[in-house]
Structure 1
Amino acid sequence: MSPELETCPRSLLVCEKSNFRSEKSRHETHVLKHMFNCKISLLIPERGMLPVKLEKVISNFSSYFLVQDFAVSTFLEDKWLDAVVKKGGFYALSSKTRIDEDSVVAVLPSGQLILSLDKDTYEQLGLEGRPSLYSHRKTMKYVVTVDLKSLVMGTKRYQRVLLSLRERVPLRTDFIFTAGGVGALPDLLSQHSYEVRRPFFHCQTLQNLLCPLLHPFDLRGEHCFCTPTQFLEWLGVVSHSVHCDNQAASFLSTYACPEPRSLVGKAQLCTVTGLISPEDICKLLTELRQCFEEPHVMNWVSLTVHGCADSPVSWGAAEHGFLKGGENFYSFVCFQNQDYLLYMATGSEDTCPP
């Protein structure tokens, strides 16, 4: 076996426990800081159907726009700055670009324009930046950050940025946009080629599911409960429809649910894919907590949110890199008494999650 396959790449996992009602809880802050999300997995044990209120929240998720051949300098036009960027709540991410090879562009709701550039593009652009934190032996990538909200039209700084993006290096790429409260976006895109998409929703009922027993304040698995790593591994197995009965149908591998465990007659596994805003995830998490108030409810539910692998940022403006997996995700486990466990994970090419 290749030496690279014998050793798993380093990963970072941060665990947090709290209560949603606590004044010190940071659950909403963590959700809002994780800006570019491409998939949600919702697992609800002991339910044969998805609660109607949850389905309604998901169906009201914001649409997103697939825009073709969009000039990055367009973000500096007065109508875009005033009607979209400076209002906040606007997310933009270049599409079909790879963070480890291509120039990747993003606009954060704070108004920051993030340019993750290859060496040649950075030198031609002429804007001040810094070497990527994950350049290894040679610096091959650079990161340029421009605060669009602070730009004042007509100033020397504005003209310099505009000159760099419009003439020196006229960056153009496909984009994905989402803007929950920006009604002017369709009008601004009327001169561009674009499609409007809705997040894709799929739900399935799992029968006779083996589930690990969980306790809200046993983060490390010290009291005979499974560890965070074991639980996240089990979640991944369930989400990919892999059986957990440890029977070797082929002789490649087997998997068993961590112990102690229980057999659940039915469970709902729901996935949502597309560019999903943090604000929509906050609404889903709020409604998920309220489901515990209904009779005959589950003991716990999990909500896992996967970040875009090729986003230039992970949490907040922290740089995101890509070596082998590009993973950056978080998972809430919510309990009846409003306690929760939060697992935040990234690969080796990221700083530690907040």
Structure 2
Amino acid sequence: MVEFECPQSKRIFESSLFTHKNSRHTACIRDHFFNHAVEIFLPGLASEPDGIKVANPDHQMYYIIKKLPLVELVNEEFIQTFLKTGSFYGLSIGHIDTHSVAAILPTGKLILSVSKDLYEELGLEGKPCQFEKPRKVTKYNVEVNLTAESFCKGKKHYERVQWCLKERLDMTFDILLAWQPNDTTKSLDSLRTFWNNKYECHKVEQKQHRLIMRDLTIPVIDSSNFTTSRSKSSKEYLTTNGSGQRDEDCQIRSCEASEVYEWLGAIACECKCSDSCDGFVSNYVCPTPSQKVAGALCQRWTGFITPDTILNMLDALRIEIDGGIMPWASLTVHGFQDSPVSWSTREHGFHKFGDNLYTFFIFPNEQRYWLLMNIGGHDICP
């Protein structure tokens, strides 16, 4: 019998207060630029609160543009109109292990991941992919700061990039675009009019899926008892930020963070987590200690979701949790598996699964939270 090695991953656990001066919750969200899905779990509630309805991603639109030449995104007029007047997000559609992938970060940087052959043909300076073996490099990453003062018409670097992308390697992409202008009188529709309908543009809404559960058994969590158990398939890193603690001998019975995280994944996949045994070896039950709630809501939005939208959702959840109805709540964000970056400009690769996601467990006491980040085994920890 052939034994397959379990894919390696890294899981980072943090515990802190939202109000703590060193809390990383805002940086974690803002630095994770490309988000494919956001999911909330609200135990004790069977409907979406008004505060969440106002903050949810339903109101955030984005564009899909077909066969857009990459050179269109690096010309000075586009940069002045969009990149320097708001937060701009661009991500091409493709498999990072087999295709060329491009991304424009809200910091104004262009990240381009290409094969060795295309890199040599392109003629721009780059670096070998960090996941490659030194003597067998097949992928290269090129980074260009589009908002640098020196990147403008007449400057040597600007003209070089323009020439390479247009004359040497005329690359086109199907690309997702989102823009949050600083001027509230402007809108995302400016993207369509900017190119005068030269390209096939589709304005897209986020997709939504809602699951309402009745008489659900949920884990009991003591937010101050932040313990984890290691597994062979992951490396775990635990940090506390001033207000967190790790007490192996804590007398308060509570489920471990890793147990709750696994259970939440089962709920998101709509697995049946019944306490009754039906004779199957793979039967999964809620970890103990546990408690019953009358109802729970699990709601997911998928599409192209900006960090500001997720920050608004987190703030709305913090307000709702203080109402005392929910013992805790969670917010999970999934990044694109084929994004060239995970957090900030840290390089990301797909390999076996392409994970880059994070989950906030939010508690009513003292505005405490747990933060769990999951990334691929080759990625650098944020």
- Give 2:297's aligned residue: 268
In the other structure, the counterpart of 1:157 is 157
Structure 1 counterpart of 2:209, from 183, 190, 202: 202
2:240 is matched with which residue? none
Q: Which moved more, 1:84-93 or 1:309-318?
A: 84-93
8 Å contact from structure 2 (residues 114, 139) kept in 1: yes
Q: Could you tell which deviates more after superposition, 77-86 or 65-74?
A: 77-86
User: Of residues 136, 160, 185 in structure 1, which corresponds to 2:191?
Assistant: 185
In the alignment, which residue of structure 1 is the partner of 2:231?
A: none
Alignment partner of 1:99 is 2:96? yes
Map 1:3-152 onto structure 2 (within 5 A).
3-4=3-4, 7-58=5-56, 61-95=59-93, 97-136=94-133, 138-150=136-148, 151-152=151-152
Q: Which amino acid aligns with 1:186?
A: R
Aligned residue pairs total: 349
Matched, 1:346 2:353: no
Q: Residue by residue, what CA displacement relative to the aligned partner does 1:4-25 show, whole Å, maximum 9, x if unpaired? A: 1xx3211101111111122221
Given that residues 192 and 201 in structure 2 are in contact (C-alpha distance below 8 angstroms), is that contact kept between their aligned partners in structure 1?
no
Contact 1:88 1:110 in 2 (8 A): no
CA RMSD of aligned residues (A): 1.7
Q: Report the secondary structure of 1:3's partner residue.
A: coil
Residue range with higher mean Cα deviation, 209-218 or 115-124: 209-218
Q: Which moves more between the two structures, 253-262 or 168-177?
A: 253-262
Conserved? CA contact 1:62–1:179, under 8 Å: no
Confirm whether residue 304 of structure 1 aligns to residue 332 of structure 2.
yes
Identity of paired residues, percent? 34
CA apart distance, 1:163: 0.8
Q: Post-superposition shift, 1:34? A: 0.5
SS in 1 for 2:265: helix
SS in 2 for 1:349: coil
- Structure 2 CA distance for aligned equivalents of residues 131 and 88 of structure 1: 31
Which residue, 251, 258, 282 being the options, matches 2:311? 282
- Distance in 2 of aligned mates of 1:11 and 1:246: 30
**What is the aligned partner in structure 1 of residue 354 from structure 2?**
326
* Alpha-carbon shift at residue 49 of structure 1 (Å): 1.2
Higher helix share: 1
> 1:178 deviation in Å?
0.8
Where in structure 1 do 4 or more consecutive aligned residues deviate above 6 Å? none
Kept after mapping to 1: 8 A contact 2:57/2:301: no
- Which stretch shifts more, 272-281 or 254-263? 254-263
| Cross-structure match for 1:256 | 285
- Report the TM-score when normalising by structure 1: 0.94
Give 1:340's aligned amino acid: Y
Which ranges of structure 1 fall in alignment gaps of 5 or more residues?
none
SS at match of 1:220: coil
The DSSP-based 3-state class of the residue aligned with 2:55 is helix
Q: 1:90 to 1:250 in 2, by over 3 A?
A: farther
Q: Measured at CA, do residues 273 and 289 of structure 1 come closer, stay the same or move farther in structure 2, by a change above 3 Å?
A: same
Given that 1:199 and 1:272 are in contact with CA atoms closer than 8 Å, whether structure 2 keeps it comes out as: yes
- Give a deviation string over 1:120-164, Cα, whole Å, max 9, x none: 111100111110011146211110000001112111111111111
Q: CA 1:263–1:174 in 2, change beyond 3 Å: closer, same or farther?
A: same
Structure 2: stretches of 5+ with no match in the other structure: 229-247
TM-score, normalised relative to structure 2: 0.87
Shift of 1:188: 1.6
SS in 1 for 2:56: helix
**Conserved 8 A contact 1:326-1:349:** no
1:220 — aligned with what? 227
